[in-house]
Each structure stands twice: as C-alpha cells, then as structure tokens.
C-alpha cells in the first residue's frame, strides 16, 4: 500500500495503533509524554486541529505547514522517540506501532467537521466514557478560554463558533448512540 504524501497546506487525519492491537499507552503519564513529544518534534511543522489518545491507538487531525520531507522526518523522529521511551520504561523490545501511521487527506469541509467529531467521540464509543470530560482529547481545550497550542480559532470557524461546535458534537453523539441501541 502506497502511503499518502503529507503535502504542505493540506489537512490530514493521521492515526495508528499498537502492533497486534496492543496498548501503546499504559498510563496517563504515557499520554502526556506522547503529547509533549508531539509538540517537541512537530509544533513548528503542523497545526493540530483535534486529537484523541486511547489506550491502544491515537487519532490526530492536523494541517501540514512545512515541506513534506521535513514533516515526514519529524514524524519518524517523534514516533521513534516515544517507542524507545515506552520500551525502556516497560522493559520491552521491538516495534510498538503498526508499520506506518495511516493518513487520509481531508479535502472537504464536511468531512473535516465529521472527522473532528469522530475523533472527539472516540472515548464514548470505545470506552463508554463521557467524551466531554475525557482528559486525553482536544475537546476540552476547544471549548475552553484557556491558552492552547491547538488551532482552536480555525476549528471553531469550521463550526461557525463554539456553540455550534458543542451542538454538533452532542447531536452526532446522540445519533451514534441511538444507532448502537437499535443495531
């Protein structure tokens, strides 16, 4: 399978999971460290629109703001740094992630809104946890007035403001919950 090239000025949904679906985060500290490394290696090369870290996988919606070659190498350095630290901490060796992180280019505003909601609703549908209070997602930062490194203004503009951002998430959550009840 040929991987999508990460082109400058485009948005992407990137995601990956642990090899054999194993956990890649065993603690809150692991998730915090992952985000710290993301910032260290990529903060000047991407704008983060949304993220969610689950125990065995992650999702990040982002915009590439640097040249492909530079961003690709930075992602490699980021994932390698996290895997090495995780392996050392847990006395393990070998691959932590599936071979390559997946990436889907987002070329449609409707798809962007939908994928942001999907990412934020992950805790509800994987853990039956309240997505609004889940600590390892960008949802709370998006509705907060606190300073953030996230592209909050850009994201909220796609939803015509914070009130509609919250409404759209609530509505999609309700629709998905009903779908699971009747299946």
* Complete domains list, the chain, with CATH: 11-182 (3.30.70.1290)
132 by Cβ neighbours in 10 Å (0-12 / 13-18 / 19+) ranks as middle
- As a whole number of Å, the CA-based R_g of the chain is 16
What local confidence, expressed as pLDDT, does residue 176 receive?
64
Give residue 178's pLDDT: 57
pLDDT category at 174 given cuts 50, 70, 90 is confident
* Residue that the structure tokens 């991407």 belong to: 46
Q: What is the reported pTM? A: 0.92
- Does residue 180 have a pLDDT over 60? no
* pLDDT tens, position by position, 16-40: 999 999 999 999 999 999 999 999 9
Whether residue 179 is predicted with pLDDT greater than 60 in this model: the reply is no
3-state secondary structure the chain: CCCCCCCCCCEEEEEEEEHHHCCCCCCHHHHHHHHHHHHHHHCCCEEEEEEEECCCEEEEEEEECCCHHHHHHHHHHHHHHHHHHHHHHCCCCCCCECCCCEEEEECCHHHHHHHHHHHHHHHHHHHCCCCCCCCCECHHHHHCCCCCCCCHHHHHHHCCCHHHHHHHHHHHHHHHHHHHHHC
- The pLDDT of residue 182: 38
DSSP string, 76-121: HHHHHHHHHHHHHHTT--S--B-SS-EEEEE--HHHHHHHHHHHHH
Q: Which of 42, 62, 43, 44 is nearest to 52 (CA)?
A: 62
Mean pLDDT of all residues in 117-124:
93
Q: What is the model's pLDDT at position 134?
A: 94
Give me the percent of the chain exceeding a pLDDT of 90: 84
The mean-pLDDT minimum among 73-87, 126-140, 142-156 falls in 126-140
């Amino acid at each position: 399978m040929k991987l999508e090239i990460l082109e400058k000025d485009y948005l992407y949904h990137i995601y990956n999971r642990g090899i054999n679906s194993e956990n890649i985060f065993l603690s809150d500290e692991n998730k915090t460290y992952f985000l710290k490394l993301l910032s260290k290696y990529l903060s000047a090369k991407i704008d983060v629109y949304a993220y969610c870290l689950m125990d065995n996988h992650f999702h990040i919606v982002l915009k590439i703001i640097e040249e492909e070659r530079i961003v690709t190498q930075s992602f490699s350095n980021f994932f390698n740094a996290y895997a090495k630290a995780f392996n050392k901490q847990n006395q393990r060796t070998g691959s932590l992630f599936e071979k390559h992180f997946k990436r889907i280019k987002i070329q449609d505003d409707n798809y962007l809104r939908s994928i942001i909601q999907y990412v934020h609703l992950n805790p509800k549908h994987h853990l039956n946890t309240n997505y609004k209070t889940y600590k390892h997602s960008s949802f709370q930062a998006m509705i907060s007035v606190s300073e953030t490194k996230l592209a909050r203004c850009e994201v909220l503009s796609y939803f015509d403001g914070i009130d509609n951002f919250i409404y759209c998430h609530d509505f999609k959550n309700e629709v998905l919950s009903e779908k699971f009840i009747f299946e």
